[in-house]
Amino acid sequence: MTEKIFRRRSVSRRTLLSGTAGLLGGAALSSGAALAQNTAPTSTDAAGNSPPSPRYPDPAWLALRQEQIIEPELEIADPHHHLWDRPGHRFLIDQLLADTSSGHNVTETVFIECGSMYRADGPVEMKPVGETEFVNGTAAMSASGQYGRTRLCRGIVGHADLRLGDAVVRVLEAQIAAGDGRFRGIRHSVTWDASDVLSRARTNSPKGQMYDSTWRAGFARLAPLKLTFEAWLYHPQLPDLADLARAFPQTTIILNHVGGPVGIGPYKDKKGETFAQWKVGITEVAKSQNVVVKLGGLGMTFGMFDFYAREKPPSSTDLETAYRPYIETCIAAFGVNRSMFESNFPPDGATSSYPILWNAFKRLAAGSSAYEKAMLFSGTAKRVYRLA
C-alpha cells in the first residue's frame, strides 16, 4: 500500500479559515483559553468539535460538488456524530436527518459527547448528564418512526470526569439511567500538546493524563458497568494509550479519528515525519485486542489536509487518494473486525458533504470482500456499541 500523502496546494479563497482560529478547528490560540471542566461550552471549546467560523459548514461551497451515490444499498451504521446548538451553527435532528437521508443506506447512528445541553444547575460533576437527557430525547423522536427508518442516536456516548476517581461511579450510574437503555460509554478527552496552538478542550487535561492514578481509578469503573471508553487524543499520545490499553484489557477502548494525526502548529511542514510517528503509534496500540479504531476525522481543520480552504470541495476520489495511507494502515493493524468508518459530522463537514465522504469510504473499500465491507460499514459498530 502506498504511504504517499496527498500534496496540498496553495489557495486563494475561504480565507476566513486560513490564518485564523478557524484553521485550528476551534483550537485555543493561547494557553489561557481552555475552558474549565464540565462548564457549559462555547463555540471555541474543543479542537475539531467546534465550528471554525459562523459560516461553517458552508452549504453553498459544499453544493459545488455533487456525485451519484456509490453502492446505495450497503448498510451503514454511523458510529460517530454530534448534536449541538451553538452561536451561528445548529446541528440538531433536522440537520442530521438531512445528512443521513442524502442517499446512503444509514440505518442507525451513535452520538458522541460534545458538551451539548449540560445542566445549568446542580453539582458540577453531574452537569454532563443533561447532554444524555437531551440526546435520548432525540433518539426517542427517531424511534417513533415519524422521522423515517434511520434510528438516530441508537447508541449514546456521554462524558464523565474520570479525575473524580472512584467517585465517578455516581455520575456513570446517572448517565446510564438518563440513557434509558441507550447509554454505551464515555469520552473524557485527553488531548494535550506542548504547543498552545492545539486545544486541550473542555477537560484541559495535563500532560500524561492517562497515567494519573486517580484518573485510572475512575477508568477502572467503566468495565464493571459494561461501558466503553472513547479515546480522543493527538498522535504523539498514542504510546500513552497503548500503555492504558495493556493495563485495562477488559475495557473496550475506541480510538477516535485514526489517532488524531496533527498537521498544524509545530507539525506543519512535517507530514512525512508525522506519518511515520503516527504509524508506529497505531501499530503499538493495535496490539491490544481491546482497542477498536474509528476510520475518519481526517477532514478536520487541524489535520493533515487543507481541502476546506480550496476553491471547490474535493471529490470522493480526491478524499480516497488523500486518506488511503491512514485508512489502509489502520485496517492492516487492527483488521476489519476492529475497524469502523465514521462520519464525524458536523466537524468533517468542513471538508466535504456527508454523501461525498461516504462515497470516499466506499471507494477505499472497493477491493474488500462482502464480509469485510459489512464489518467496516456496520458490523463492527453494531457489535461494539451493542446496537442489535
Quick check: 1 pLDDT over 90? no
> Are the CB atoms for 306 and 8 separated by under 8 Å?
yes
pTM of the model: 0.88
User: What's residue 30's pLDDT?
Assistant: 27
> Are the CB atoms for 188 and 203 separated by under 8 Å?
yes
Question: What confidence tens digit (pLDDT) does each residue in 303-321 have?
Answer: 999 999 999 999 999 999 9
User: What's residue 43's pLDDT?
Assistant: 36
Cell numbers representing residue 278 in the block: 503516527
Which of 53-57, 63-67, 302-306 is least confident? 53-57
> Are the CB atoms for 315 and 356 separated by under 8 Å?
yes
Distances (CA, A) of 252 to 245, 288, 292: 8, 10, 8
> From CA 87, how far away is CA 348, in angstroms rounded?
18
Q: How many CB atoms lie within 10 A of CB 58?
A: 17
Cell numbers representing residue 47 in the block: 479542537
Distances (CA, A) of 223 to 231, 242, 251, 277, 367: 15, 17, 5, 30, 36
> Are the CB atoms for 307 and 351 separated by under 8 Å?
yes
Cell numbers representing residue 231 in the block: 479515546
Question: What confidence tens digit (pLDDT) does each residue in 137-182 have?
Answer: 999 999 999 999 999 999 999 999 999 999 999 999 999 999 999 9
Quick check: 93 pLDDT over 70? yes
> Are the CB atoms for 155 and 386 separated by under 8 Å?
yes
Residue 131 identity: E
> From CA 154, how far away is CA 216, in angstroms rounded?
28
Residue 185 identity: G
Cell numbers representing residue 284 in the block: 503499538
